Structure 1
């Protein structure tokens, strides 16, 4: 079949320009699509009201909660999750990682305590705490700490205390902030002025420096403390100051560098990449969560490696799940296939399922990973009991529509699909020339739906995670990405006759790429339930990650209890 090469000369010129200078990568998007639509200003949610007392939760050597005072139990359950003797149930998966790193840091150093920044499940903002040996708790904080049901001795060897702020009180904490976050004297003085309620202009006058100088210092403070907005800084300092007052009056204490969970640490905290061999090919995969847990075949989108979001390993473990994430043929560390197709790529999933002896399993497939997941489920038959498709994509030729205007990356994918013969060159350039600044522009273009754009603005660290998994995906070759484009562009002949598992579709209301009606038409009677999620588009898999993992729990009542409400 002849290729549709309309506008191809413009695209090729742009590709040559990018090959000569990767910083000009945006010329490819400009050649393929119109400028993105303007985005609304972000909505800033007010911080949640704090409690009136300092809260304490004591963790045992095995990681479960063994004791707490009323304020600590209330703060943890309202802001972070659930307390249990067998393990903590964080609502935000990143908090598992932050706590694990804090525990390791405390064991490595001789400092009295470590500051850790959690993510508040109530409003997605920062929630700070001190982590310290329980035996080092001041007498004033030990009072009121009571054993929890089934808990071990609160002061036994290896126990650790989480100390939460009474956020309504304020006092000094500047020495601990400076030492823990590595702030300079100038940055510390700026933070103090902002905590007192001064504007940036008023602080500049008070400190006798320019506003531009303070803006640069403020960016440095945000970066060091893992914050995004001035309101978060004021709130964080208010929380930490109330804790500082609890430690005053005693002997001087050393402060270790603070623990701040970021998406850049997703790779550091992920399980190691594993390999198995099929027909002479090496296939890479990762094993998240509880090795004895409920198995879930997790099918990621094209241009994704087996890397999942930060904290996924800990959350899967606490939910009793085992997430099996395979790197598709030609992607990451998985060898390419001689002849690429949905069914041929899906056989890798089937082989891994049988290699591990998983038995009955659930499946979660994201975006354009849907056809691979469904092909694997059809081949596995009754071994796949239920399927969740998250912003699923149907395969087949892509047609531009009037409503695509303003959705830059949707137009890009439609046009590169229509001109699939260009995909090898496009992804090879992407593999060799991608840097974070360029990727940030792509991510912003992808977040063209208002809800996606708002989510990206409130979670800018997501870009670091996207860069990490894309670099992993393209580490060896771009062949898998380009073959996937060519495969998806062909008229779909995907055979789902062997599919027995019921399919649930979660779809963002603002998804510009594929509509729920298109997915209904494609899946037919296999589709048993549809959930349309408002105020989000293609970023649904990011914004509702904890809920998606909870769906995989066989006991859905338990799964719902462990995730925040939408």
Structure 2
């Protein structure tokens, strides 16, 4: 486990990343969710080692130890990952992302499809421009979507600052919120394994290491034009969604299934936003390790 690696890319920015699992194993890039960081995939370490998989988990610009990028767009991420893959000497690899990692998976597919063997989106965020995009979403998550869509950032910044303050000053309260208010599968996970909640809190705190600007910037991107024409993507994409997820409801998976011509949707019963990736990590990783893109 190496959690504080960095490289300098062509434009002078620093890109931070962590590695988990088998350092000589099959390489898979993991893109963390919103308000998370490279540390948020620590829970994958033992499972990845068992499967001879090397997890490479980069911080996005302005998160953790990666340099902030002015005026960034999701598509820029594809160039960052190509630079990191070149640095690591990786010609072929797979990619997957959780929640807000979804557009970053798509950016890599658009940027460098010939080097990607498999791609998966887990409980993924979707573009904001389709009818019913916020249907069935947990109210606090719906609220931050609304604030992010407003032209004035004042309320969004206040909301995100309060989130950070809560993580730092009242982490026990945040854990109790997970245990009390999340859907049943997530609540069960956090209650039976409170260490998972603490790991999530630590990974989220790291996203604010440089302040709130990167988190604000990314939330604005979620509700803006992603500048991606999804109907032109013909790369095979595995879609995983939990039937009880209130942060990325199953209609988001259905949206991707309709838009991505060569996608495969799995809706897992009785799984939520956090429980799905933890309870089904081995299946997800094995699928990513199995080469099916021969182009």
User: Structure 1-normalised TM-score?
Assistant: 0.46
1:496 shift after superposition: 4.8
Q: 1:446 to 1:348 in 2, by over 3 A?
A: farther
Aligned residues: 284
Partner of 2:264: 529
Asked whether the 8 Å contact 1:337–1:345 carries over to 2, the reply is: no
Q: Does 1:338 align with 2:74?
A: no
1:396 shift after superposition: 1.7
Partner of 1:491: 225
Counterpart CA distance in 2 for 1:402 and 1:307 is 30
Q: Does 1:505 align with 2:246?
A: no
Counterpart CA distance in 1 for 2:141 and 2:134 is 10
Per the alignment, in what secondary structure is the counterpart of residue 371 of structure 1? helix
Per the alignment, in what secondary structure is the counterpart of residue 337 of structure 1? coil
Q: 1:326 to 1:400 in 2, by over 3 A?
A: closer
Q: Does 1:319 align with 2:51?
A: yes
Q: Does 1:416 align with 2:147?
A: yes
Per the alignment, in what secondary structure is the counterpart of residue 484 of structure 1? helix
Asked whether the 8 Å contact 1:375–1:495 carries over to 2, the reply is: no
Unaligned runs of 5+ in 1: 1-269, 557-566
Q: 1:324 to 1:381 in 2, by over 3 A?
A: same
2:8 to 267, 277, 282: 277
Per the alignment, in what secondary structure is the counterpart of residue 538 of structure 1? coil
Unaligned runs of 5+ in 2: none
User: Structure 2-normalised TM-score?
Assistant: 0.85
1:536 shift after superposition: 1.4
1:493 shift after superposition: 2.6
Partner of 2:159: 426
Q: Does 1:543 align with 2:279?
A: yes
1:454 to 168, 177, 188: 188
Q: 1:331 to 1:286 in 2, by over 3 A?
A: same
Q: 1:496 to 1:446 in 2, by over 3 A?
A: farther
> Superposition RMSD on alpha carbons, in Å?
2.6
1:327 shift after superposition: 0.2
- Asked which structure has the greater CA Rg, the reply is 1
Counterpart CA distance in 2 for 1:519 and 1:373 is 15
Q: 1:487 to 1:403 in 2, by over 3 A?
A: closer
Counterpart CA distance in 2 for 1:309 and 1:392 is 16
Per the alignment, in what secondary structure is the counterpart of residue 363 of structure 1? strand
